[in-house]
Amino acid sequence: MENSSQIYHEKQKLQFCLLHALNNLFQEKDTFTRPNLNTVAEQLVLADPNRENQKWVPLIFKQHHNSITGNYDINVLISALKQKGKSVVWHDRRNGASSIDLNKSEDVLMGIILNIPIVKFRGLWKSRHWIALRRIQGVWYNLDSDLNTPHAFKDTDEVKEFLDFVIGCGAEVLLVLHDKE
């Protein structure tokens, strides 16, 4: 098993978990930056055919993100990945993790992005958190930016158990695929 200290792992800052999840997925610092994702979010607003109906533009709470803390939405994730030649397939949670082929070639399946519900401050604050899972040199890792270090799964069965657990808690599972040329 590879030493997890050699795995690129960004730690959580504010609500930039999508930024961290993407960089952890790509295993490279600054594959995406705050300005990159902010631009993607603004382009989504400009491309919205209903933008003329919006009476005001909030300064902090934008349509697809919070301009101070991050908190980017699924539309930013999909558009950012598309710019890098990746596509996203929403996993049907009714099928559970057993229907995900975790042994699929790394040329096809880049990794998995999870969007999990979180509750803090005794239920007073509810939000969602982005997490990347990726197979690196044959080993699946949980690259959650809230973890101190990446967590290596012992095998695909353990990955599926983890996925079934988070699905049961209300997580969304998104498969990140390399686009076919």
- Measured over all CA atoms, what is the biggest interatomic distance in the chain, rounded to whole angstroms? 55
- For residue 4, the model assigns a pLDDT of 54
| Tokens describing residue 157 | 């069965």
Residue 169 a catalytic site member: no
Residue 129 annotated among the catalytic residues of the structure: yes
Catalytic residue among 9, 17, 20, 65: 17
Q: Of the candidates 165, 137, 143, which has an alpha carbon nearest to the alpha carbon of residue 2?
A: 137
DSSP 59: S
Q: What is the per-residue burial (b if ≥16 Cβ within 10 Å, else e) of 72-86?
A: bbbbbbbbbbeeeeb
Q: What is the pLDDT of residues 44-102, one digit of tens each?
A: 665 555 545 455 455 444 454 445 455 677 888 898 999 999 999 989 888 889 899 99
**CATH 3.90.70.40 given to domain 16-178:** yes
Give the separation between CA 122 and CA 140, rounded to whole angstroms. Answer: 32
> Under a CB-based contact definition with an 8 Å cutoff, are residues 173 and 35 in contact?
no
Show me where the domains of the chain are located: 16-178
The crossing angle, in degrees rounded to 10, of helices 17-26 and 74-83 is: 30
Q: Does the annotation mark 144 as catalytic?
A: yes
Q: Between 119 and 36, name the one with better pLDDT.
A: 36
From 9, 65, 91, 129, the catalytic residue: 129
67, two tokens: 């301009």
On average, the pLDDT of the chain sits at 81
**pLDDT for 68:** 47
Which of 130-144 are b and which e, b meaning 16 or more Cβ less than 10 Å from the residue's Cβ? bbbbbbbeebbbbbb
Residue 121's pLDDT is 59
List the single range of 71-85, 110-124, 132-146, 161-175 with lowest mean pLDDT. 110-124
pLDDT of 9 over the 50 cut: yes
Q: In the structure encoding, which two tokens stand for residue 38, read together?
A: 């902010």
Residue 40 C-alpha from the chain's centroid = 15
Q: Cα separations (Å) of 64 from 11, 59, 72, 158? A: 22, 12, 6, 34
Q: Given this model, what pLDDT does residue 59 score?
A: 46
> How far is it, in rounded angstroms, from Cα 41 to Cα 53?
18
pLDDT at 174: 94
